[in-house]
Every structure is written in C-alpha cells, then in structure tokens.
Structure 1
Amino acid sequence: MSPSLGFGANEDRSLQVLWADGEYVLHRTERGDTDDHQLVLALMATAKHSPSTSLQRLAHEYALKDELDETWAVRPLQLVHERGRTMLLLEDPGGEPLARLLDGPMDLSSFLSLAVGIAKALGSLHECGLVHKDIKPANIMVGCNDGLVRLTGFGLASRLPRERPAPDPPEAIAGTLAYMAPEQTGRMNRSIDSRSDLYAFGVTLYQMVTGTLPFTASEPLEWVHCHIARRPLAPVVRTPTVPPPVSQIIMKLLAKTAEERYQTALGVENDLRRCLVEWERVQRIEPFPLARQDLPDRLLIPEKLYGRGREVDTLLAAFDRVVGSGRPELIL
C-alpha cells in the first residue's frame, strides 16, 4: 500500500513547494501516519497525465538508489502512485535548492564555501562511475541540516564512462539547455563524460557569482549556438568584485572542448578550496597556477580535430550567419 502524502483537503498545509520548473515540482511533505511526522521530499511531473519520458526519468532515478550515498546525494526512497500521479519520494536532508538563493550575486565567502561543497559532491558522484548530465542550481540542495551539499535530479544520469549523444532537434535534447555542455547538444561529434558535468558546474558558478547566466537565449537553437560558438564575458568583467583567480577557474570550466577544462572535480575543488582559505584569511586571493593537482583518474583520449582550424572557423562563421539571418547555406 502506498504511503499517504497528505494530498486532499489539507494539501496546502502539508505541502511546501521547494521548486517548480514547468516539468517537475519538488515538494517537502510528511510521510506515513500523523503520529510519525517524517519529512520527505516528493518529486512529481507537473502534468497529471505526464509524458512517458518524465515518468521514465523518475523511475530511472529510483533505480539508482543503491548507488547514491546519503553524504553527497538526496537518496530516493520509494516510487509511489497516488490519485493518478506518479511521485518519487526522497530523503529530506533539510535545506533548499540552490536555485532559490540566486536572486543576485552571492557574497564571496558564501559562494566559495558552497562551490567547494558542490565540487566535493560532484567528485563523489564521478568516483561512483556516474555522469549526472543535468547539473544546475535546481538539482543542488544547500543549507542541509549537517552542512553538506547534496545533488539530486538523477533522471538523466548515466553509468557509461563515455556516451555519444544523438543529434536530436534542439527542443528535444534531454537536459537543461542553459547549463548544457557543448558536446551534450549532439552537434560536436564528441562524447559526453564527467567533464560535461564540470561545464554545467561552471555555468552554475558563473550564475552564483555574477547573478546572471553566461549566455542568454530565447529559443533552443540559440542556446545550442551559444554553448558551441560564443565565448562568455569573464565573470570579473561582468562583476568587477570577483577576484581574477576565481574568474579564471570558472572560465576554465567553461572551455568549449573537454580537454581544455578541468579534468576532475577534485582538481577544481582543490583550487576553489585554496581560494576560500586565502579569502577567509586576508580577504584577498593572489593569482596562482590553475589545475596543478588536477590529475585524471583514467585514460582520456582527446577527441578534438587536428589540422582543421581553418575549416572549423569557416563552419562556425556560417553557423553564425544562419542563426543571425535565418537564410540557409550549403557548405561542401
């Protein structure tokens, strides 16, 4: 028998909406009998008759429950059906999604502390052999009761160390376009791996420290173009109070090719932790060489093109023209 979640006459009193993005809603509610008062999180698709892909992602996240550790992930508890709705119940570590805190630039101490915590959680995820594929502020729980940062939203997570994405139409690409790594769009003939999560982490850090995303777009194809072809303004240019080393760390995470990014979450965690220690000690961060402790834990064969710089530039220029004018072009 499915546990009662309190839907009905007392729904407004028993449910707290933590986040809604149009596809899913995350609630905090009580589970079990009224004498128990155990708080849980309930994730459900927005529509009562949800597309099969949304329900499949809930089922996929539940299937990963034994691979997710409570120290760095919000662990699934049960997949339940109630009143025609499918919901994924998750442990409630306290706190709230990071997305609720992003109403402007964060102060640097809070930013660096959270950034280190996110990097640590990402490193633990990758050590388990998982690639998240949808890192974004809505899938990061902060302010937890024990002070740790936890990841959630594993509906797209992959056990494959490398995965070749299909070139789906932009509006059908799985994931969140605003935070998506270039290779995840399926337009670069490159594989998705753990470094794709690091790009999304870079977008998240950019938003945390500047209050804005590195790119703005109004339609899926424009988002794809931004991630593949446009270079964002450095955070220090957009927000002059950002220390240059922090800006450089973020820009390295946002490199278009995976080989130019940090190779591991541990590597970026070490650099962020150094920034945090210096800032708390002297309120200043001196420049230092990045990624000195960023040692890949496995062999990563580069997938970039060699000796085709002019051809790549020609293709990117044509792509820019087509996006800007709407007129098709044929290139041989």
Structure 2
Amino acid sequence: MQPSPRPFKTDRRRASSDPAKLLNDALAGARASDDAMSSLPNSSRGDPTVTDRSGPARMIDLAAVQSGGLEEAAEEIARLNEALTGYQVYEELARGGQGIVYRALQHSTGRIVALKVLHSGREVTARHLGRFAREIELVARLRHNHVVAVYDSGVVLGRPFFAMEYIDGLLIDDYVLLNRPTVNECVALFVRVCRAVASVHQCGVIHRDLKPGNILVDLDANPHLLDFGFAKCFDDDELQSLSVAGQVIGTLPFLCPDQVRDKNALADMRSDVYALGVILYLLLTGEMPYPVNGSPGEVCRNIVEATPGTLERRCEPESESCAVGPISADLSLVVLKALAKERERRYQTADDFANDLARYLAGEVVEARSGHRWYLLRKTLRAYRWHVAISSAFALLLIGSLIGITVLWRKAEHAARTAQASLQMGALARLAGIQRDEGRIDDAILLYSQAIELAAQAPERNIAANRYLYTSHHGLAQLYIRDPKTLDAGRRHCELATALAQQLVRDKPEETEYQRLLAYSLRLEGRIAEKSQNWERAVSRFNEAAAAFQSLLRFADPDNNLPLEYEVGFSKQFLGVAQCRSGDSKTGMETLQDARWILQRVYDRYPQSMDYLMELCRTEAHMVEWHLRNKTPEDHRIAEAMVLPAIHRLSLAIEDGTAASRLPEAKRLLEDLKSHQVLLEKRLRGMRRPDPT
C-alpha cells in the first residue's frame, strides 16, 4: 500500500512563508494534477466536484494571495465592509468550490463568526446560486453540538452569504498528526464524529462530502462538521436541477464504490458511512485504504476493485501521521465493514457505525464479528473473567462447577442471539426508511414487515429491539394510510406503535426520546381518525400529542427548543382543524390562533426554515377558510388581513429559492391561498355594492 500523499488539506500553521517557493510547489503539483485529469472525459475536466481544492489548487490560491493577490483580497474585504452592515470582516480563512470563508465580528452579539460568501464573477451560475441557497437552508435546520450553527444569512454585493459558528481548531488529520492520540482516544473522538453525522441524517440530510478537510477539532478536542455545499435531503427531487446528469458529487478519494461505478447512483446514508470509514482508516494508519496518487481513472479503479488490508498489521510504530498503539482485529473488522464495497454489507447508518466503535471501546461484542459463536463466548467470558477465575478455582475441588460454565455459555449464546436479532431489526428498519425516502414504497413495506417478523422470532426483546419494532410499525402505518383501502391496516400498526412507545416510556421514563416517539404516534393516530372522519377520536389524539410535545419543552434548552415548539404548533394546527370539523368552530379557531402564534414565533426566529414557513401559511389558510364560511364583515376583514401577508411570504420564498426543498407543495398551498383571496375579494365587492332599494 502506498503512503498517502496527504493532498486533501493545507495546514495554514505549517504553510511556507516563502511566497515564491509556495507558488512554485503549487504549480508543480497542479501540473501533475492536470496530467492526471487528462485521462478524464472532456465533460469532466475542470469540474470542481471531481477534484478537491484543498490540495494544489488551494495552495495556488494561497500563494497567489501571498505573492501578489494580497492587495486584491484586501480590496475585496474593504468592499464587503463597506456594503455589509452588522459585521466587520477581518481576514480570509479559506476558499472552496462554493465560496469564500472570512473571519468576522458580528456587531449585534460581539462574537466572532465565520462568514461564508458566494464567489463573484461570471463563472457563478444559477446552479451555484441554487446550491449555496440549499446549503444555507440545510445547515439552518441542523441542531447538534458537533455541527456548526448558522446565526444569520443575507445578500451583500448581490451575492448571498451566511454567518456561522467560528471554530478555532485543527482539521482532524492535523489534530491526530500534532497530538498523536492513542488508538482508543482516536476512536473515542471519531465516535463523536459519527454521532454528529447521524444527527444530520436524522434531520433528513446527507452530507456527501465528508473528508478530513470538512471536520475541525476545537481546543477542547470536540469535532465539528463543516461545509454542507454538496449536501442533499433524502427527498430532494429538485436537486436534479442543481446537478448535471452523471456528475460526480464530492471528493473522489472519499467517494463510495457504488457512486464511482454508477455516476447516476443516488447517495444515501451509507455513502456517508463509507466516507467515515475512509477517514478513520486514514487516521488510524496514516494511509488511505487504496492508492490515490494516480490518475482519476486509476483512483476510480482502486476504489471499486482494491481490497483494503487489515489495519492490525498496517499501523507501524514509526509512523508519525496516525494514532499511537496497536490496532486489534476487532477494530480492524469494524473499519473494514464500513468500507465494504457493497452498500448492503456496510453499517446502514452512522449511528450503527458509532455503536460498534463504542462496543469495541467497551470490550464488548462487535457487530462486525457477531456471527462467530466462539468469538461471542470468548468475549463474554472475558467480560466475566473474575467469575470464570473463581469457578476455575472451585473446579479443582468440584468437577460440578463445569455446569456453571455451561450455563454461562448458554446465557452468553442467548444474549448474543437477542443482540443479533436487535441489530438485524435495526438494519432492516433503517434500510426500509431509506427505500421509503427514495420512493420505493413496496420495498419499504417488505423490509418493515421483515423486521416485525424477525422480532416475533427473537428469543426476547430488549429496549433497542422495541425501539426498532416501533420504527417498523410506525413506518408501515405512515405508508398504509396513504391509501383508503389499507387505512385499517395502518390503524392497527399505529396502535401497536403507540403501545410500544408507551412501554418504552415505562421502561425508561427519564428518556425524552421515547416520550417524543409517543407524541408522534399519538399524532398519527389522530390523522388516521381524521381520515375516517372520527372527529371525537381525532380531537382526543391531537390534544394528547400537543400536550406531550408541550411537556417536553420543560426539558429542552431554551436556546435550542425551536424544533419542539414547532411540533407543538404543528400538532395544534391539526387539533384546531379537527375541532372545527367536529362542530366546535369557536374552540377550533382559538386553537388555530394559538398554533399560528407559535409557528409565527418559530418562523420569526429561523426564517430560513421552509418547514416553519409552510406550516405557518397552512395554518393561516385553514383560518381564512373558516372565516370565509362565516360570511360576516368582521370575518372577512380578519381573513383579508391574514391572506395577503401569507401569499406575499410564500411567493417570495418561491421566487428567491427558499422553497426549493418543498417547491411542488409550496405551489399548491399558494394556489389555495390565491383561491381564498379571489373568493374574499368577490365577497368584499358584494358587501361594498350599494343596496339598489
């Protein structure tokens, strides 16, 4: 295996201070890169998504600034400071394919922020603008300690920008190089990286460009994910308008084999899992899993065909660019499972990867070797080594103590079968979710059903198994209620999901996640009752769901409670409509007004969220509809004051691209609002017309 040439970053602390030397070195690297690029089709040359600009290209950028572009960079900063209110821009931090990142002071808060501004010039296309707008929207919806937070966004000099959390730290491979952590310290750090990626996935977002250059480690050794310029939502139909057919999205050495084999293959959570595997392999060994210093064609062949060696015999003590210490066979197998060529054989989620790494750190059974019976027994006996030692001592006196070992073995096997069933259920449930998000409904139903069948065959179910069983029943319920013919089946699955959530809450009352699951299933029961026109049950379930989400706000961080507030407002929207349709329009309108206030408050705090805007406008559309039914002048005046701002907000979101993630739905809602406006104007003209008598 060839040592990695480490082309994926430039450590600004170690960059040469000699501009001429830096520029010459960069040009030499760029010429080599150009020779390699010549093997690509003409349509791919110069594509910023094929190559990583943190190597020679970034060195040229840096050298240009140091050897003659400094004045131009200073002029650009001066232009930004003149045009940008609320910020003082200090210096350029980095350049990427999407934009330029500056260090700046936010006057209103007095904090240092990272300011990302889209590139200027004729080379910026509508596709670049669309992607930049998508990045702002996607990052704004993410909430995790290890994902950079977005504070603000706007337009300056005709170019969009956004302000985000400034992280003072090192790229993760620089951190390992300079701090030389032990293997276990490195793995513990990487578990937090995987958890951050998992939180991104749980928000419905795939990163698609994970690499060391997009992971910063701060001064407290906390990792942070950066650069969501190539990220996408699971259900991004409009993403096709931002991509070229067959275009490679991401950084080539970190792309998974399925995307390299088929440029039109859809990226999913397992694509990010593969990239995480490549990064961890690099951090542990100081090398890439396969040679990456050839032409792009050769690199592609290596990604698809080359088999990474086992890590346990690859970590040389004299290596200076990797974690310190030996690598066990268990850890090697965990990393290699993440690097499986077939996506079905990888960990299905970043959480699964993190969980197996955590098992390795705890000395427990790892999923990567869960099929080996003697391995399971050996690990279990090691966990109970003091019990075994005492039993062995007594065995010298009593042969009958062997019975205790036999019982222990049977317990270990039973526990292993239970754990294996739980892992398989989780994999099936998550894979079903992927199929559902990709529109393959029949496949999703089959996988959810297989997970439920597996649960019935398991020797017993632990809490994790019940959690996955909940996911399967809830997922089937969501799919079945789409068709009136399968509504009864959806109701049965939803009731089972509710019962499982209630059991989880009883087992772990301190776990707020399980209380949230219960609230989701109660709301889904309300939607099913609504479809059956069982208004009494619908009102009851929506009321319980709203109260459950409201109670969770007591445990939430006041600075990070917008998602929960949104769920309260969303549930009250359903409740208000159900109350109106049940005949209690007075209470229903009061509930809808509560929902409107909540959603307005949430939207005002984060106007970048299309979810918040959509449900605010939908609530207003419901209220306008019921005011129009009353046909009184007062109701018409209230409706008029409500419908015009809603139309304006939604129209603006569609025009400026904010609604891109939910464009078809936004257009339908806008048409409904405009229809209400037409009817309202007709009514108002009738009221203003003088009485002919």
Please say whether Structure 1 and Structure 2 have the same fold, judged by a TM-score greater than 0.5: yes
Q: Aligned ranges for residues 1-332 of structure 1 at < 5 Å?
A: 2-3=84-85, 5-7=87-89, 14-15=90-91, 17=93, 19-20=94-95, 25-32=100-107, 37-44=110-117, 51-52=124-125, 53-82=127-156, 86-92=160-166, 94-101=168-175, 103=177, 106-143=181-218, 148-160=222-234, 172-185=247-260, 187=262, 190-215=265-290, 216-239=292-315, 241-278=326-363, 288-290=366-368, 292=420, 294=423, 295-296=426-427, 297-298=429-430, 299=432
- Distance, in Å, in 1 between the alignment partners of 2:129 and 2:170 is 23
Secondary structure (helix, strand or coil) at the match of 1:150 reads strand
More strand by percentage: 1
Retained in 2: the 8 A contact 1:162–1:193? no
Deviates more, 1:255-264 or 1:241-250: 241-250
Bigger mean CA offset, 243-252 vs 104-113: 104-113
Choose 1 or 2 for highest CA Rg.
2
CA RMSD of aligned residues (A): 3.5
Residues 98 and 229, structure 2, Cα contact 8 Å, conserved in 1:
no
Asked if 2 retains the 8 angstrom alpha-carbon contact of 1:96 and 1:141, the reply is yes
Residues 54 and 188 of structure 1, relative CA distance in 2, 3 Å threshold: closer
Matches of 2:175 and 2:100, distance apart in 1: 17
Give the share of equivalent positions with the same residue, in percent.
26
**TM-score, length basis structure 1:** 0.71
SS at match of 1:64: helix
Deviation per CA, 1:8-52, whole angstroms, max 9, x where unpaired? xxxxxx3373x556765544332227xx53111123457766533
- Residues 212 and 49 of structure 1, relative CA distance in 2, 3 Å threshold: farther
Contact between 1:25 and 1:46, CA under 8 Å: does it hold in 2? yes
Asked whether the 8 Å contact 2:270–2:349 carries over to 1, the reply is yes
Structure with more relative contact order (C-alpha pairs < 8 Å, separation 6 or more): 1
- State the one-letter code of the partner of 1:214: P
Preserved contact between residue 334 and residue 366 of structure 2 (Cα < 8 Å):
no
Question: Is the 1:133–1:175 contact (alpha carbons within 8 Å) kept by the matching residues of 2?
Answer: yes
Deviation at 1:258?
A: 0.7
Decide which moves more: 73-82 or 157-166: 157-166
1:249 shift after superposition? 1.0
More helix by share: 2
AA of the residue aligned to 2:271: S
- CA separation of 1:25 and 1:288: change in aligned 2, threshold 3 A: same
- CA offset digits 1:222-263 (Å, max 9, x no partner): 332222222222322321522221111111111111101011
Q: Distance in 2 between matches of 1:275 and 1:167?
A: 41
1:284-303 residue CA offsets vs partner (Å, 9 max, x unmatched): xx874427564233316699
Task: Give the match's secondary structure for 2:206.
Answer: coil
Q: Deviation per CA, 1:110-149: give whole Å up to 9, x if none.
A: 311211101111221111222111111222232266x643
CA distance in 2, matches of 1:265, 1:93: 23
> What is the CA–CA distance in structure 2 between the aligned matches of 1:238 and 1:118, rounded to whole Å?
23
Deviation at 1:181, TM superposition (A): 1.2
| Residues in 2 aligned to 1:49 and 1:144: alpha-carbon distance in whole angstroms | 39
When normalised by structure 2's length, the TM-score is 0.37
In structure 2, relative to structure 1, the CA distance for the partners of 1:277 and 1:153 (3 Å cut) is same
Secondary structure of 2:198 counterpart: helix
Specify every segment of 5 or more residues in structure 2 that has no aligned partner in the other structure, as ranges: 1-82, 317-325, 371-419, 444-693
Count of residues in Structure 1 that have an aligned counterpart in Structure 2: 284
Residue 69 and residue 77 in structure 1: after superposition, are their counterparts in 2 closer, same or farther (change >3 A)? same
Amino acid at match of 1:265: A
| Matches of 1:81 and 1:132, distance apart in 2 | 24
The 3-state SS of whatever aligns with 1:122 is helix
